């Protein structure tokens, strides 16, 4: 892990010399119920005081998960679509929030999901939509504010949108290959590249995880990343509600 640490710390040291602080945030997808992998995720993030945002699937969750998360003050909850059901055709990329159904039906589910998670989580709830598979039809975006949503989170560089975007930029999983954890050095290089972009243009570094499918490589990577960043003076692991408040604050 020496090379891994050198890549991350080398870039953060540049931020420190410039008097800047890089904001990281952690998003984990597909939460439904308490599980051993979820406990492990909560334990490792809490050990390094890293705030966590869980993308919870409203149709498949309930009081059990809410009861578990009430003991986690660093954890917030966002809406992960409705049922994480694919409505796209066999030759299309998977999508729940696309043009495959009437818009009114899609919006009704998103409103139901919002209301359900708000009722379950109260102060832990953040009014942010995280579309399953990070895909949503652009025509839906202007309608989300009317449902109560105040932010959207997908994967990749932020682009102009009808809502503030709080995206993730580095995914720990090798979805196209082993479907296990990616090479830690490759992840370090991606994180450093994102930091270089942020140094000049601002933004955050969003890390995307999926606790239900993590292998040992992912857990080792997360621990290594938290160890080299959590105490670095040029790194701040931010809570999503704080990021959203800053984005909504009027320019001074």
- Residue 186 inside a domain? The answer is yes
pLDDT tens-digit readout, 87-131:
888 888 999 999 899 999 999 999 999 999 999 999 999 999 999
Of 205, 209, 178, give the one whose Cα is nearest residue 194: 205
Average pLDDT score over the chain: 95
- Residue 50 inside a domain? The answer is yes
- As given in the structure block, the two tokens for residue 121 are 């989580």
- Residue 218 inside a domain? The answer is yes
For the cut 80, the answer to whether the pLDDT of residue 251 exceeds it is no
pLDDT tens-digit readout, 27-43:
999 999 999 999 999 99
Local confidence band at 1 (pLDDT 50, 70, 90 cut-offs): low
Q: What is the mean pLDDT of residues 201-211?
A: 97
- As given in the structure block, the two tokens for residue 172 are 């720990």
pTM of the model: 0.96
DSSP state of 139: G
Number of separate domains in the chain: 1
- Residue 250 inside a domain? The answer is no
pLDDT at res. 169? 98
For the cut 80, the answer to whether the pLDDT of residue 248 exceeds it is no
- Find the domain containing 131 and state its range: 2-12+22-230
- Residue 236 inside a domain? The answer is no
Let me know: does 28 contact 210? Beta carbons within 8 Å. yes
- Residue 238 inside a domain? The answer is no
Q: Residue 86: give its domain's CATH number.
A: 3.20.20.370
**How crowded is residue 113: how many other Cβ atoms within 10 Å of its Cβ?**
22
- Residue 44 inside a domain? The answer is yes
């Amino acid at each position: 892990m020496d090379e891994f640490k050198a890549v991350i710390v080398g870039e953060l040291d540049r931020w420190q010399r410039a008097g800047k602080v890089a904001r990281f945030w952690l998003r984990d997808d597909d939460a439904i119920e308490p599980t051993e992998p979820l406990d492990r995720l909560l334990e490792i993030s809490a050990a390094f005081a890293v705030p966590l945002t869980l993308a919870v699937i409203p149709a498949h969750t309930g009081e059990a998960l809410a009861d578990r998360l009430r003991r986690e003050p660093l954890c917030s909850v966002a809406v992960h679509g409705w049922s994480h059901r694919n409505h796209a055709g066999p030759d299309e990329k998977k999508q729940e929030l696309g043009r495959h159904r009437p818009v009114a039906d899609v919006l009704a589910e998103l409103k139901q999901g919002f209301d359900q998670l708000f009722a379950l989580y109260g102060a832990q709830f953040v009014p942010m939509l995280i579309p399953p598979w990070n895909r949503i039809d652009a025509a839906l975006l202007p309608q989300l504010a009317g449902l109560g949503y105040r932010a959207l989170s997908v994967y990749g560089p932020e682009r102009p949108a009808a809502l503030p975007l709080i995206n993730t930029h580095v995914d720990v999983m090798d979805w196209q290959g082993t479907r296990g954890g990616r090479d830690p050095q490759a992840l370090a290089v991606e994180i450093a590249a994102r930091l270089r972009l942020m140094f000049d243009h601002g933004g955050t570094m969003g890390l995307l995880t999926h606790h239900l499918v993590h292998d040992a490589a992912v857990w080792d990577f997360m621990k290594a990343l938290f160890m080299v960043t959590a105490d670095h003076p040029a790194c701040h692991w931010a809570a999503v509600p704080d990021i959203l408040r800053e984005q909504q604050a009027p320019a001074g």
